[in-house]
Structure 1
Amino acid sequence: MAPTPVQSKKPLGKALVIGGCGFLGHHIVNLIHSSYDAQISVIDLRTTNNRRPDSDGVQYFDGDITSLSSLIPLFEKIKPDVVFHTASPTLMGGSKEMYRKVNVDGTGCVIEACQKTGVKALVYTSSASIVSDNSSDLINADERWPVIRGKMQTEYYSETKAEAESLALAANRAEAAPKLLTAAIRPAAIFGSGDVQLIPRIVDLYYQNKTGFQLGDNVNLFDFTHVDNVAHGHILAAVALLQTSTLTTPPLDHEKVDGEAFFVTNDAPIYFWDFSRALWKAAGDTRGTEHVWVISKDMGLIIGGAMEWINWAIGRTPKLTIKQVKYSCMTRYYSIDKAKKRLGYSPIVPLEEGIRSAVQWYDDEHKKEGEKKSQ
């Protein structure tokens, strides 16, 4: 039998990942390194976390994306063909001032740096939340759904992500740099190894023996997306943009990637509380739902409102809010048909496998912390 030929890696040229030491960014770096032929560079505010070994040849640069004078010299040194812009404060970790400075002003600086240094392709990390008013259900929402802005948008993070996406897509073939092609990826509820938001908050409830409650009747489907799938979607968009840049005529509307936004999910909506229970099971929980106290949405809203008022009066942060109740009871899942057809996207990590590996990573981190404390 003839030996199986070694499959050559797809070329990606000089790839720059902004925010490449963050949660999503370092997964993009890892996937490019393992599967593509590229010279990889990273710009982050601090490049101490999530670094690859020096032998892998990834270049790391400290830089502030809100300062054009900081970015331009780095871009001129790196000379990237494609830029992945993933840098952003977390949904739970920023003030309004920080969201605007980083997400809007910072994205403006990144775009201008791309335009002034001959970058061919820019892939911007947007958010699926920009089409949500955080109250109404989203059922198989696709890219034709309106982006929620202004007074209708109750999450300022989503407001700034929407504005930044608009800037990124408007830069596609813009007069300032007609050869720069752009696209935006809208991931939904990212989780996985390195997660600082979703996995810790949910798995810690199991460690603290606080799994005996449920808000709502658990008939609301929700999209959760493994981080490697989000990274995969970003890279497919970059490859498509680079291919488009070689064409003498623009692609047809139904084939376009440049100037377009794409939802990316695991293509596996799951009932909201089933996701948490799957995480708890992977962490070792053997119980069913017999011990669970189900709080109806209406009762949850009353309790959440009361807790907000009481804690406001005494100057504390409430453990339950109206926003949390609405979020837990909301249907929120998306169609990824556009990404499938135009990017050739399909998830590379199934939901069950992603849950298992994410909990294993967090359990390992938990054990490491325990060992440090015992030393």
Structure 2
Amino acid sequence: MTDGGPNLVYLVTGGCGFLGEHVVRTLLEKEPRLRELRVFDLHLGPWLEELNPGTQNVIEACVQTGTRFLVYTSSMEALGPNTKGHSFYRGNEDTPYEAIHTEPYPRSKAQAEKLVVEANGRKVRGGLPLVTCALRPTGIYGEGHQLMLKFYRTAQSTGGWLFRTVPPSVEHGRVYAGNVAWMHVLAARELGSRADTMGGQIYFCYDDSPYKSYEDFNLEILGPCGIRLLGTRPLLPYFLLFLLATINAFLQWLLRPLVVYTALINPYTLSLANTTFTVHTDKAQRHFGYQPLYSWEYSRDRTVSWVNTRKGYPSQ
């Protein structure tokens, strides 16, 4: 973001993605000082497919163009759950936790987050300091959530049933995309006036969505769409699920030269789903006045409505 006095210019990278679209919409609706909105995304045109900006390149672009404020979209997976399956129960940004990553996505998020935090205070063109912060959403849901739509269609293929694979005692934090977008807009807006407080900080994204297992939470959305969850406990023992996940990972590796094979269950997603990871924090509220813009009931109903409108569409 560049500060043009009373008028602000925003650049949203990944602006055509699930969260990016929510950020763009929130800026247009909720940022009165918006003068210009620029959207960058690899899907804008085929000529962009050869570019790989990377987080370090984004930081360097800020330095060279005199852009002073950078809000990075990280993920809870930059921290965990780790590969040892250690629970993170009602933790906050200062809770000790052993971050151990083997998969590319969480490892890259952790590395990028570190680059952004360390870039805080670096001089940009014109001599003023760069001010950065990173936001860590937990599991995001909302309109445009293609994975939720995939769960719906999977259940439709089995007569409207989903089969429980995760114990209901395993809790996860979920957050509505509209509230994540609002936190991004508010953080960007306040970085200039609260640089000493916010600069170089990491914030979990949170709202009033209930703590539940992934499957029980998904049923909050899919239940009103006619889907049911079979079983009060996992129908298959964990070792069989792990065997299936390992087979899926092997098939993915075996078929990689020919086709892209993606399965809902692999060793990483199985571990993620079976490890409690919930946050309880008010750091964003204390540092820059964040409050969820949308209630849980509104967020749920909007997501349910979106799934219902997509029922007749072909799979993407």
Q: Does the TM-score normalized on the shorter chain lie above 0.5?
A: yes
Q: Which amino acid aligns with 1:23?
A: F
The answer as to whether partners of 1:121 and 1:182 remain within 8 angstroms in 2 is yes
Q: Which amino acid aligns with 1:242?
A: G
1:342 aligns to what?
A: 287
Match of 1:305 among 216, 227, 243: 243
The answer as to whether partners of 2:176 and 2:209 remain within 8 angstroms in 1 is no
- How much has 1:108 moved relative to structure 2? 0.6
Structure number with bigger Rg: 1
Higher relative contact order (CA 8 A, sep 6+): 2
- How much has 1:43 moved relative to structure 2? 1.5
Match of 2:151 among 202, 206, 214: 202
1:119 corresponds to 2:67: yes
Percent identical among aligned pairs is 26
Q: Which amino acid aligns with 1:238?
A: A
Counterparts in 2 of 1:303 and 1:35: CA distance versus 1, 3 Å: closer
Distance, in Å, in 2 between the alignment partners of 1:224 and 1:15 is: 27
Distance, in Å, in 2 between the alignment partners of 1:307 and 1:261 is: 33
User: Within 5 Å, which residues of 2 pair with 1:26-105?
Assistant: 26-36=21-31, 37-38=33-34, 39-47=36-44, 63=48, 67=51
Which deviations, in whole Å up to 9, do the C-alpha atoms of 1:197-221 show, x marking residues without a partner? 3x12322233223635212430122
Q: Which amino acid aligns with 2:65?
A: T
Which deviations, in whole Å up to 9, do the C-alpha atoms of 1:62-120 show, x marking residues without a partner? 857x85xxxxxxxxxxxxxxxxxxxxxxxxxxxxxxxxxx5xx6111110010111112
Counterparts in 2 of 1:109 and 1:302: CA distance versus 1, 3 Å: same
The answer as to whether partners of 2:118 and 2:200 remain within 8 angstroms in 1 is yes
Q: Which amino acid aligns with 2:238?
A: G
The answer as to whether partners of 2:248 and 2:265 remain within 8 angstroms in 1 is no
Ranges in structure 2 where 5+ consecutive residues have no aligned partner = 256-260
Counterparts in 2 of 1:319 and 1:267: CA distance versus 1, 3 Å: closer
- How much has 1:307 moved relative to structure 2? 6.0
User: Within 5 Å, which residues of 2 pair with 1:161-176?
Assistant: 161-175=109-123
Distance, in Å, in 2 between the alignment partners of 1:131 and 1:235 is: 23
User: Within 5 Å, which residues of 2 pair with 1:361-372?
Assistant: 361-369=306-314
Distance, in Å, in 2 between the alignment partners of 1:179 and 1:306 is: 51
Q: Which amino acid aligns with 1:45?
A: L
CA-based RMSD of the aligned residues comes to 3.1
Distance, in Å, in 1 between the alignment partners of 2:20 and 2:265 is: 31
The answer as to whether partners of 2:74 and 2:134 remain within 8 angstroms in 1 is yes
2:78 aligns to what?
A: 130
Q: Which amino acid aligns with 1:187?
A: P
- Normalised by the size of structure 2, how large is the TM-score? 0.82
The answer as to whether partners of 1:43 and 1:63 remain within 8 angstroms in 2 is no
Q: Which amino acid aligns with 2:297?
A: E
The answer as to whether partners of 1:111 and 1:168 remain within 8 angstroms in 2 is yes
Distance, in Å, in 1 between the alignment partners of 2:10 and 2:248 is: 51
Distance, in Å, in 1 between the alignment partners of 2:305 and 2:183 is: 24
The answer as to whether partners of 1:212 and 1:292 remain within 8 angstroms in 2 is no
- How much has 1:12 moved relative to structure 2? 5.7
1:187 corresponds to 2:137: yes
Match of 2:234 among 286, 295, 299: 295
Which deviations, in whole Å up to 9, do the C-alpha atoms of 1:128-186 show, x marking residues without a partner? 1111105111111211245755xx21332011111111111111112466421111111
Distance, in Å, in 2 between the alignment partners of 1:144 and 1:118 is: 32
The answer as to whether partners of 1:122 and 1:181 remain within 8 angstroms in 2 is yes
Aligned length: 296
Counterparts in 2 of 1:283 and 1:25: CA distance versus 1, 3 Å: same
- Runs of 4+ more than 6 Å apart: 316-319
Q: Which amino acid aligns with 1:294?
A: R
Which deviations, in whole Å up to 9, do the C-alpha atoms of 1:284-317 show, x marking residues without a partner? 34x6x6x5263278x2223422563598489577
Distance, in Å, in 2 between the alignment partners of 1:319 and 1:29 is: 29
Distance, in Å, in 1 between the alignment partners of 2:313 and 2:247 is: 39
Distance, in Å, in 2 between the alignment partners of 1:266 and 1:160 is: 26
Counterparts in 2 of 1:364 and 1:313: CA distance versus 1, 3 Å: closer
Q: Which amino acid aligns with 1:280?
A: L
1:144 corresponds to 2:94: yes
The answer as to whether partners of 1:202 and 1:279 remain within 8 angstroms in 2 is no
The answer as to whether partners of 1:269 and 1:333 remain within 8 angstroms in 2 is no
Secondary structure at the counterpart of residue 28 of structure 1: helix
1:280 aligns to what?
A: 222
Secondary structure at the counterpart of residue 198 of structure 2: coil
Counterparts in 2 of 1:11 and 1:296: CA distance versus 1, 3 Å: farther
